[in-house]
Amino acid sequence: MAEQMTKENFIQNVLIGEIAKIKDKHPFFAFTLMACGIEFLGRILKKRKENDVNYSRFDFNYAVFNLTVLEKYRPYASEPKGEDPSDGYINPTSPLNKNDCKDDLYSKLRCCLAHQFLMGENLNLSDSNENKLDVPPITLGVHAFYNDFEKACKEVLTKLSTEKELSELQQITHMVIEKTENGSSVSGHP
């Protein structure tokens, strides 16, 4: 039997619920999932239905610059100049940035973890309860980062329930989880 998940269910059950369950035992994987989750939140905020890889950096940075709770990470992100990646980015003068926006938090955290299972230069990950963002290398503590990530998810959930254009996206099926005899199998868009 297939269970369809709306974006709201996905945010609540997977991004908040499942990441909460693994962050203590598997902080490295939790960081990877949260970094990818931030990109997903940005895609929702931009009301983008399609999955276009050319928008990954844009969506990640859009979330950082448009979710209140992620404000503390803005010095390490690249602010989108317009409504499209081709409009370019306003690059911070952060310790992470040595090569325009190629060295921002998106590259150092999201890309390095998602593509290589590595951390970028000048970025440390820890299992602590606090972030250290004042001097390089910056350190992200899994519990502090998760708390901010959870609040960002809840901020998007609030927007989904109160903003008409975003609430229409809520009805789009994100994925189907097929329950089988041997467990569950996940597939993309039905």
pLDDT digits (tens, 9 = 90+) for 71-103: 999 888 888 877 777 777 766 555 444 444 455
Mean pLDDT of the chain: 80
Of 148 and 162, more confident: 148
Question: What pLDDT score does 82 carry?
Answer: 77
Share of the chain above pLDDT 90, in %: 38
Question: What pLDDT score does 86 carry?
Answer: 74
Question: What pLDDT score does 30 carry?
Answer: 95
Question: What pLDDT score does 156 carry?
Answer: 95
Question: What pLDDT score does 76 carry?
Answer: 84
CA 157, CA 26: separation in Å to the nearest integer? 25
CA 8, CA 171: separation in Å to the nearest integer? 9
How much is the average pLDDT of 46-52?
Answer: 71
Phi, psi of 137 (to 5 degrees): -75, 145
Q: For the chain, how big is the Rg over CA atoms in Å?
A: 17
SS3 149: helix
* Bond preceding residue 137 cis, omega within 30 of 0: yes
Question: What pLDDT score does 99 carry?
Answer: 46
How much is the average pLDDT of 143-160?
Answer: 96
Question: What pLDDT score does 1 carry?
Answer: 45
Long-range contacts of 109-113 (CB under 8 A, 24+ apart): 109/31, 109/35, 109/140, 110/35, 110/36, 110/38, 110/39, 110/56, 110/60, 113/28, 113/31, 113/32, 113/35
Question: What pLDDT score does 167 carry?
Answer: 59
Question: What pLDDT score does 134 carry?
Answer: 84
